[in-house]
Amino acid sequence: MSIKTEIIQPERSTSDLVKVSVSGWLGTALEFMDFQLYSLGAALVFHEVFFPEQSAAMALILAMGTYGAGYVARIVGAFVFGRMGDTVGRKRVLFITIAMMGICTTLIGVLPTYAQIGIFAPLLLITLRIIQGLGAGAEISGAGTMLAEYAPRGKRGLISSLVAMGTNCGTLSATAIWALMFFVLDKDQLLAWGWRIPFLSSIVVMIFAIWLRLNLKESPVFEGAKESDGGAAVTYAVDQTHSLGAMFGSKAFWLATGLRFGQAGNSGLIQTFLAGYLVQTLLFEKRIPTDALMISSIIGFMTIPLLGWISDKIGRRIPYILLNISAIILAYPMLSMIVDKNNDVNTIMASIIIIHNFAVLGLFALENITLAELFGSRNRFTRMAISKEAGGLVAVGFGPVLAGIFCNMTGSWWPITAMIILYSCIGLISALLMPEVKDRELSILNDAA
């Protein structure tokens, strides 16, 4: 079968680019609003709402296990919806994923508790997390693909950082809502009904995001490929390069997975497990991790676009390398200050903010555009989605659970530090091995490596 190697892309206006940017920002905001709503809920509340009969340590591990269930589903969703995005179009898939995520997040807010229906409560929670994960598995990759294929050369890093800014907005919104709940409500009110408010509030973002996506134009790269095929289904999208064997044999796939592994692993440890560990094991006030992450997200509004802009100037590899090295160096001193009760609150919060910006937000600012440029147009959506979710499944889905087990076994915070260093080393090695992909032509069919 002959494969076309050049694609004539249809024109898109500045207005179209703005709509896609806002759509990607909102979708990512909703995904990470859910991420943070659930991760903080799992760390701080769900162990009492859905697993009240367990010991404190085991309840935290079980709560993190339901968190991980969503990540198992995400990789399935990445394959199913990623393939669909490469065959029927980016726009349709982005509508489906935003609806699945938003509806499930809202429904978590109306779930009955363990006290009301027993074991069926955590089972329903897991079911919603699985459905939610199916949609989320392709959401951010679809938004990143769409925005990268719209953005002009020389500005892709800065424009794609808007997707990462959506991450920040979602994390900030969710953390702020939880912080407000802890400030306004006492413990009994929070466990009785207050925990539902954060999940129900996500419906506002969902409605606006769905409306906006109904009015998007298709990616110019995908539409150009379709028109080059005479208006038929995109021929190259259904060839053998979409097989799992071809994907696992791709160097670009493993490099992308490694880059994602470093960022996602650190995110799961710092934003999810560390918050629960400080409160449940070390008995810190709940406001300390929530306030620190909220402030860190605000700072990210400056650091994320700055890193996107820098990557447009000097390339994607050097910032990746420097950020991972910084995370490795900072892991021990920051964690040692965070867990030391002799330190004042400001020192503890500052340490959380520093490690969060270097090891999580900084890397994510580069992730979407770098992965989009690594892959060819033939299978960009599928491979980008699966590489992100494969890294996320192992690092984020299981990482907090393993951290809980290791910390419980050792009675120490050392496993958290060791895991941050390990994840960052994997990200660093991947960055060292990857080719420079800045401003690569996105209509090229083949991967960059």
Domain ranges of the chain: 14-433
In this predicted model, what pLDDT tens digit does every residue of 393-402 receive, in sequence order?
778 777 888 8
| Residue 6 φ/ψ region, left for φ over 0, alpha for ψ in the -120 to 50 degree band, beta for the rest | beta
> Are 257 and 391 within 8 A, CB to CB?
yes
Q: Does residue 372 carry a pLDDT above 80?
A: yes
Q: Does residue 219 carry a pLDDT above 90?
A: no
Q: Does residue 158 carry a pLDDT above 80?
A: yes
Q: Does residue 91 carry a pLDDT above 80?
A: yes
Count other Cβ atoms within 10 Å, centred on residue 128: 21
Q: Does residue 102 carry a pLDDT above 70?
A: yes
pLDDT value for 226? 64
pLDDT value for 227? 61
> Are 276 and 42 within 8 A, CB to CB?
yes
| Residue that wins the pLDDT comparison between 193 and 324 | 324
pLDDT value for 429? 97
Dihedral of CA atoms 288, 290, 294, 296 in degrees, nearest 10, equals 60
**How many Å apart are CA 159 and CA 310, to the nearest integer?**
12
pLDDT value for 61? 62
Q: Does residue 163 carry a pLDDT above 80?
A: no
Of 95-99, 105-109, 170-174, 360-364, the poorest mean pLDDT is in 170-174
**Residue 281: pLDDT band with limits 50, 70, 90:** confident
Residues 6+ apart with CB under 8 A from 146: 20, 23, 24, 90, 91, 94, 216, 219
- What's the mean pLDDT in 69-82? 84
pLDDT value for 370? 96
Residue type present at position 317: R
In this predicted model, what pLDDT tens digit does every residue of 242-252 receive, in sequence order?
567 788 888 99
Of 222-226, 372-376, 413-417, the poorest mean pLDDT is in 222-226
In this predicted model, what pLDDT tens digit does every residue of 11-59 receive, in sequence order?
777 888 888 888 888 888 888 787 778 777 776 777 677 766 655 665 5
**Residue 237: pLDDT band with limits 50, 70, 90:** very low
- What's the mean pLDDT in 336-357? 93
Q: What is the mean pLDDT of the chain?
A: 84
**How many Å apart are CA 364 and CA 160, to the nearest integer?**
10
- What's the mean pLDDT in 186-190? 82
Residue type present at position 412: S
Instruction: Please state the CATH superfamily assignment of the domain spanning residues 14-433 in this structure.
Output: MFS general substrate transporter like domains (1.20.1250.20)
pLDDT value for 55? 57
pLDDT value for 356? 94
pLDDT value for 430? 97
Nearest CA to 56 out of 272, 276, 274, 341 is that of: 276
Residue type present at position 8: I
Residues 6+ apart with CB under 8 A from 87: 233, 234, 237, 238
Q: Does residue 320 carry a pLDDT above 50?
A: yes
**Residue 416: pLDDT band with limits 50, 70, 90:** very high
In this predicted model, what pLDDT tens digit does every residue of 118-154 receive, in sequence order?
778 878 888 888 888 888 888 888 888 998 998 899 9
pLDDT value for 68? 62
Q: What percent of the chain has pLDDT over 70?
A: 88
Mean pLDDT highest for which of 71-75, 265-269, 396-400?
A: 265-269
pLDDT value for 228? 57
Residue type present at position 70: G
> Are 164 and 31 within 8 A, CB to CB?
no
